[in-house]
Chain A
Amino acid sequence: MPESVAPAEVLTATGPTMTHEEMRVEFRRWLLDAMPDLPASPAPGSSFGERLAAVCKLQGYLYEAGWARLGWPEHLGGFGGDARHRAVLYDELASAGFTSRCALEHLEILAPAVVAHWDASRSRKVLPGLMRGSDLWCQGFSEPDAGSDLISLRTTATRDGESYVLQGRKMWTSWASYAQRCVVLARTGDASQRHRGLSVFFVDLETEGIEVRALSQANGVDELAEVTFDEVRIPRERLVGQEGGGWQIALDVLACERSTFAWLRQARLQARADELALRVDGESAEQLGDVLIDLFALRMSSASAVERLADGQFLGPQAAPAKLLLTDAEQHLYDLARRVLGVDFAMGTSPAMADWQEEYLFSRATSIYGGTREMQLTTIARFLLDLPVAPRG
């Protein structure tokens, strides 16, 4: 690692006590010095694998310098601080042009819930690998017959002495082809127990009996995968939290996926909006302004979610509005891109245009992943507005 990105002196001296405001100033200063030696952002048109490699390499540098350890408790291998420190890190990286996080998004989706529910001695063994970017995680929740209706999942985990035996199939598992670990939601009780019969396991993907098959997506990326568990034996210590307590962990993960994740995403979207602004003609200025207002609301709402998480609160149903603000902002941005880029958007073959095309297609799925738009609206209606429930039958 180049000398300029060696452990930051300021962190060695004050890391655990640095406020997030101080961190913003110090990290910005450090980035300025270290920038020439940091791995460059992937060139336009890079493959997903190339992008992921670049992001992980950068993360490794940030970990060694100490910055990627801020925001995580010291007893888990961090340097202290909270979610606000991590948010500042992502914000400043985006300002410096590093807007992609790829699979490291799970630092904000999976990791907060896992470490909140799991024994600290176990979390300490696995978290540093993710912080360093050397050990990637994925989220094994959805199944062929359990998407929005997650409680209907069929993957089972049967207790056998000091082990559990996993049997079943997960679908739409982001990053599974690139990850080493999977956070699996499985049924440890019988189906009649509904959500009370679910548990979470932290699984090594190289374990015998696991098969990962990449799914090629409409946007040309193989981010998603199918993961099959065929009598996979998991040590009991890999049970996260209590047996039967998996639903609450899943809810906390989903709350992060719908809210604090939006903080990461807004940074990327803002950077793309700024790029697009330079290609917009006067006639589209108001539409551009509307997109930027969407992004403003998203930035403020997701920052609010970060603050809540930093105070130890997972949002629960209150995360749903943030996810819908993200959906609107992302789809409106790429709708505008399609209009502004015109024929180039549909027919262009340059690497830069390929990125716009891929991202546009991905944006169409924003209203699906992490709980569909309709699920979020129903959640808001039931739990935030307390609207009546239709009589069954």
Chain B
Amino acid sequence: MTGAMTEEFVQVACDLLQRGDTDALVSLEWEPRPDGPLSAWLDATLSLARAQGRTLAVTSALGIACAHILYPALAPGDLSVSAALDVRDVGGRLELIGPAGIDLAEQVLVDAPGLGLGLVEARWISPAEGGGGPFDPLVAARRLCPISAIEVVAPFGDHDEQRVAALNVARLFMSTEILGSCEHMMATAVTYAHDRVQFGQQIGTFQAVQHMLAGAEVHVRGLRSSIEMLVPRLGELRGLAALRHIAFLKALAGRTGHHVSQATLQVLGAIGFTEEHEHHRYEKRTLTLDALCGSNEQLALEIGRAAMRGETHLVAVP
């Protein structure tokens, strides 16, 4: 059982974020172990991810976790780094899509097409033109930088495993954040179903409402069990086997996020569709997280194509 799945631990992380703790990873006793398996420090990182999902907070945890792939001795506070793993080459410049922290970090870890993992100094990064931007600006930002500004620290080929590991960490983090977001949306809708009275009775007594929420809860529990069972068995995040398993998890998380967003909005009714209600913020967060590092549709396509090639990879559980 990982700490990410221990309710008490997640609650501590939520409290830290709600108090505005700027270095929550340190407070959670994040302990990088240079020679140990990467999973050794996942507890604090994933607890924070889940708490971020519940509280809509933004931290640098994802960037630090990804950077830790390259710098195993990294400790919180050593480096102001963010990570942008969704990167496209747009006419000689790179379009970076990553956590909102890329605005604030001194350096950004990027997965540069055709080059490998690289670092970019913040001064080279400029806002993308055209406005619009990401669905949830609190989660992701879209920026541009010249390719020549990339300092490649892990080129393709020999260091592909580090790219895979960074992607694995990011997908795990985002899946767990979506779980936290879904848990919050469920809790809000269940409370509303108790409080809201229509036709002279609490709407939570109507079977149609009960079944809608129960159906969403099935998906939330499926995602929670999947994280609980998968994370302790990953052992090492660098391998392709882990990439395949985590792709399943990320796809499941994205699907779950959409399902829970819709079901809980339906229970909240019109009030849930107002700007002042928090629901749309959680929905936009799950939409954004699903879109980053492989949407559930993209990953389902990859998974399906791999199966058509006869590639089957079951996790050895229990």
- Which of B18-26, B65-73, B176-184, B299-307 lies at the interface? B299-307
- Chain A residues contacting B214 (CB-CB under 8 Å) are 376-381, 384-385
Kindly identify, within residues 238 to 263 of chain B, every residue whose CB is under 8 Å from any CB belonging to chain A: 248-249, 251-252, 255
Interface residue count on the B side (C-beta < 8 Å)? 49
Per-residue CB contact flags for chain B residues 179-217 toward chain A (1 = under 8 Å, else 0) read 000000010001001100000011011110111011101
**Is A1 on the interface with B (CB-CB < 8 A)?**
no
B270 proximity list for chain A (CB < 8 A): none
In the complex, the answer to whether B218 meets A325 with C-beta atoms within 8 Å is yes
Per the bound structure, the CA–CA distance linking A325 and B226 in Å amounts to 12
The smallest beta-carbon distance between B273 and chain A, in angstroms, is: 22
CB neighbours (8 Å) of B314 from chain A are 91, 95, 270, 299
Q: In terms of DSSP, what is the predominant structure of the interface of chain B?
A: helix
Which of A4-12, A55-63, A116-124, A287-295 forms contacts with chain B?
A287-295
CB neighbours of A274 from chain B (8 A): 307, 310, 312
Partner of A292, one of B193, B225, B248: B248
Tell me which of A37-45, A146-154, A160-168, A301-309 binds B.
A301-309
The 8 Å CB contact of B190, one of A278, A382, A387, A390, is A387
Contact present for B252 and A296 (CB under 8 Å): yes
A307 CA / B233 CA spacing, docked (Å): 14
CB atoms of B202 and A304 under 8 A apart:
no
Interface size on A, as a range, is 35 or more
Question: Which residues of A sit under 8 angstroms from B302, Cβ to Cβ?
Answer: 289
| Contact partner, A289, options B194, B228, B303, Cβ 8 Å | B303
- Nearest B residue to A323 by beta-carbon distance? B218
- Tell me, rounded to whole Å, the shortest Cβ–Cβ distance linking A371 to chain B: 13
* Cβ contact within 8 Å between B229 and A304: yes
Known: A385-B213, A391-B201. A303 touches B318 (CB 8 A): yes
A304 touches B307 (CB 8 A): no
- Closest CB in chain A relative to B292 CB, distance in Å: 18
**Cβ A288 vs Cβ B308 within 8 A:** yes
Q: How many whole Å from B209's CB to the nearest CB in chain A?
A: 8
Give the complex CA separation of A292 and B313 in angstroms.
Answer: 11
B-contact 0/1 string along A350-381, CB 8 Å cutoff: 00000000000000000000000010111111
B297 at interface, CB cutoff 8 A: yes
- Interface flag for A280 (CB, 8 Å): yes
